[in-house]
Amino acid sequence: MKRKMTVSEIITVLYYLSYYLNSLTGKFSSNAFSQNLETGNKIHKKLGYSQDKYIFQRFVEVDGEYWQIIGKPDEVNEEEGYIGELKTYRNKKKKEKIKEIAETQANIYCFLSGFPKFKVYLYDALEDKKTYEKEYEANYKKAEEDIKKAVRRKKKAHKLLKKLK
């Protein structure tokens, strides 16, 4: 196993572990998850939150091993010094969880890039409108803890998969 994780993979391991485990075995538990990703990607492009100029990486030590963490944020605002993360949702009941996921993801991008703050935007795909925007201070310690937690989960998942084969 390569000691490399993308920020998207970290988020999947932290918040959608069953989907991640199913993806390792080639079994996908839900078409809804894939459909939501596709809808989100279309909205990102429509609103201009799909930049290709910036890709950040950093090596993080986890239990004596160095892991390459790499990610491409939705928005990088050099002038105002922040990272932006847009998340879409279709179910109002999941809005708070989606906000938490966006906060975690944007905070990790700040850790990788050195930016001191981030903005989270939420977009209701059914109502076709932005419903939330807030700026936060980055918390590098939390970002590093989240990365380490995801790396450890990934290693456990791969170890378990080997035992099952």
Domain limits of the chain?
A: 4-164
Q: Which residues, 6 or more positions from 127, have their beta carbon under 8 angstroms from its beta carbon?
A: none
Contact at 8 Å (CB) between 73 and 120? no
Q: pLDDT for 91-136, tens place per residue?
A: 999 999 999 999 999 999 999 999 999 999 999 999 999 999 999 9
The runs of H, that is alpha helices, within the chain are 7-15, 17-25, 31-47, 95-113, 140-164
Structure tokens at 130: 């932005």
Q: 7-24: per-residue pLDDT in tens?
A: 999 999 999 988 888 788
Task: Give the Å distances, CA to CA, from 82 to 59, 71, 116, 129.
Answer: 21, 15, 7, 22
In the numeric block, which tokens belong to residue 25?
């075995």
Report whether pLDDT(138) > 60.
yes
Q: Which CATH class is domain 4-164?
A: alpha beta
60-101, pLDDT tens digit by residue? 999 999 999 999 999 999 999 999 999 999 999 999 999 999
pLDDT of residue 29: 57
For residue 110, count CB atoms less than 10 angstroms from its CB and return exposed for 0-12, middle for 13-18, buried for 19 or more: buried
Does residue 8 sit in helix, strand or coil?
helix
Per-residue pLDDT, 85: 97
22-45 confidence digits (pLDDT tens): 788 776 656 666 667 777 778 777
Predicted pLDDT of residue 60: 98
